[in-house]
């Protein structure tokens, strides 16, 4: 699959992502917010993990820090055993380009570039060899083999997201992070995108971490991590949409109760 020249990374061959007591504090004084209040986790290679939690619980912050798009205030992050720590912005960018893929809710394709040009752009920016045959293979695999010369505006939302996934996969990331990848899609396109993500995990041993609000999307993952108030408060394997929805309802109730108690204690 994907025209690999090297053997695919075997599923479960090790730890793909590790967070050790990661904190992210925004602001100071009265405006201080602990978006992450000490999050630790370990995800095996070849796993598909969904991150869920109430609004403001720190999901995006967790993803941004783990992917090296933002710096934690404290704590360690290791991607495939290598510490994500750059003295400079350039060092962090290099680390990201070599090891991390990111898929955004709104695709973030460059509108003036074709599908093919968008997909090979990260390789060019990283000054890595551009293997057009592999790029074509990946695009064929995501169902867009006949759209290489199209502009993003000539594609549907689901197709644009599949281009974004191809763009992330072509660089062979150790971990693919996805922030609400189906948030802007209709039900059918969302299902296609989720099936594609699942397939890259099952067939190629890709590691994926996906933030979502949607229990149906989360049920496509192997496991769900639950966040509340910047902390990991739960873990569920082999999730079903019903079980995830139920857990989320309880979580929202718990958080509301804690906030009422905290207010009353002031
Ligand atoms: N740049 C920032 N400056 C100050 N506070 C921030 C910043 N980014 C996030 N926060 C705060 O950190 C907390 C966690 O935000 P985050 O966006 O990670 O939550 P989330 O779980 O992804 O929320 P949602 O589901 O609504 O997208 C929130 O209280 C938010 O207001």
* Cα–Cα separations (whole angstroms), residue 47 to 15, 50, 218: 10, 10, 13
Whether ligand 1 lies within 6 angstroms of the CB of 64 is answered as: no
Q: Residue 174 in contact with residue 47, Cβ under 8 Å?
A: no
Residue 113 confidence class, pLDDT cut points 50, 70, 90: very high
6: pLDDT strictly greater than 50: no
In sequence order, the 6+-apart residues with CB closer than 8 A to the CB of 88 are none
What the block records as the tokens of 57 is: 């619980």
117: pLDDT strictly greater than 90: yes
What the block records as the tokens of 183 is: 């948030």
Q: What is the distance in A from the centroid of ligand 1 to the CA of 60?
A: 7
Section 69-76 average pLDDT: 94
Residue 266 confidence class, pLDDT cut points 50, 70, 90: low
pLDDT tens column, 212-233: 999 999 999 999 999 999 999 9
Section 169-179 average pLDDT: 95
Provide, rounded to the nearest whole percent, the portion of the chain with pLDDT above 70: 92
Whether ligand 1 lies within 6 angstroms of the CB of 63 is answered as: no
2: pLDDT strictly greater than 60: no
Which residue's alpha carbon is nearest to atom 10 within ligand 1?
A: 35
Residue 89 confidence class, pLDDT cut points 50, 70, 90: confident
Residue 7 confidence class, pLDDT cut points 50, 70, 90: very low
pLDDT tens column, 79-88: 999 998 777 8
Which residue's alpha carbon is nearest to atom 7 within ligand 1?
A: 26
Top mutation candidate among 23, 33, 225 for ligand 1, by most atoms within 8 Å of CB? 33
Whether ligand 1 lies within 6 angstroms of the CB of 212 is answered as: no
Provide, rounded to the nearest whole percent, the portion of the chain with pLDDT above 90: 78
Q: Please report the pLDDT score of residue 265 as a whole number.
A: 67
The secondary structure of the chain as a DSSP string is: -TT-SSPPPPTTSSEEEEEEEEEEEES-GGG-EEEEEEEEEEEETT-EEEEE-STTSSHHHHHHHHTTSS--SEEEEEETTEE---SSHHHHHHHHHHHEEEE-TT----TTS-HHHHHHHHHHHTT----HHHHHHHHHHTT-TT-TT--GGGS-HHHHHHHHHHHHHTT--SEEEEESTTTTS-HHHHHHHHHHHHHHHHHH--EEEEE-S-HHHHTTSSEEEEEETTEEEEEEES--HHHHHHHHHHHHHHHHHHHHHHHHT-
The secondary structure of 107-176 as a DSSP string is: ----TTS-HHHHHHHHHHHTT----HHHHHHHHHHTT-TT-TT--GGGS-HHHHHHHHHHHHHTT--SEE
Which residue's alpha carbon is nearest to atom 16 within ligand 1?
A: 58
Q: Which atom of ligand 1 is nearest to the CA of 62?
A: 18
182: pLDDT strictly greater than 50: yes
Predicted model pTM: 0.90
Q: Residue 2 in contact with residue 138, Cβ under 8 Å?
A: yes
Residues in the chain: 266
Whether ligand 1 lies within 6 angstroms of the CB of 53 is answered as: yes
Poorest-pLDDT segment among 36-45, 179-188, 249-258? 249-258
d(CA 120, CA 125): 9
d(CA 140, CA 224): 30
Q: Please report the pLDDT score of residue 253 as a whole number.
A: 79
Whether ligand 1 lies within 6 angstroms of the CB of 14 is answered as: no
Q: What is the distance in A from the centroid of ligand 1 to the CA of 154?
A: 33
pLDDT tens column, 126-152: 888 999 999 999 999 899 999 999 999
State the chain's mean pLDDT as an integer. Answer: 90
Poorest-pLDDT segment among 107-121, 153-167, 245-259? 245-259
Q: Residue 165 in contact with residue 197, Cβ under 8 Å?
A: yes
Whether ligand 1 lies within 6 angstroms of the CB of 28 is answered as: no
Whether ligand 1 lies within 6 angstroms of the CB of 132 is answered as: no
Interface confidence, given as ipTM, is 0.97
Q: Which of 207, 198, 245 is nearest to 226 (CA)?
A: 245
Q: Please report the pLDDT score of residue 205 as a whole number.
A: 95
């Amino acid at each position: 699959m994907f025209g690999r020249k090297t053997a695919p990374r075997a599923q479960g061959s090790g730890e793909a992502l590790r967070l050790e007591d990661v904190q992210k504090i925004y602001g100071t004084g009265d405006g201080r917010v602990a978006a992450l209040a000490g999050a630790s986790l370990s995800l095996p290679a070849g796993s598909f993990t969904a991150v869920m939690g109430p609004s403001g619980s720190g999901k995006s912050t967790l993803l941004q820090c783990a992917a090296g798009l933002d710096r934690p205030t404290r704590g360690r992050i290791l991607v495939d055993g290598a510490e994500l720590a750059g003295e400079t912005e350039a060092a962090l960018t290099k680390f990201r380009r070599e090891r991390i893929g990111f898929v955004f809710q709104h695709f973030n394709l460059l509108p003036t570039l074709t599908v093919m040009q968008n997909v090979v752009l990260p390789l060019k920016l990283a000054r890595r060899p551009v293997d057009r045959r592999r790029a074509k293979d990946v695009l064929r695999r995501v169902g867009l083999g006949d759209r290489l010369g199209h502009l993003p505006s000539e594609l549907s939302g689901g197709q644009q997201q599949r281009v974004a996934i191809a763009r992330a996969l072509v660089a062979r990331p150790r971990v693919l992070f996805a922030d609400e990848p189906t948030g802007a899609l209709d039900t059918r396109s969302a299902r296609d995108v989720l099936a594609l993500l699942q397939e890259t995990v099952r067939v190629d041993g890709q590691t994926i971490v996906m933030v979502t609000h949607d229990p149906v999307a989360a049920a496509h993952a192997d496991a769900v991590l639950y966040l509340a108030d910047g902390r990991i408060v739960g873990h569920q394997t082999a999730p079903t949409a019903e079980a995830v929805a139920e857990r989320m309802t309880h979580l929202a109730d718990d958080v509301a109760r804690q906030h009422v108690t905290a207010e009353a204690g002031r």
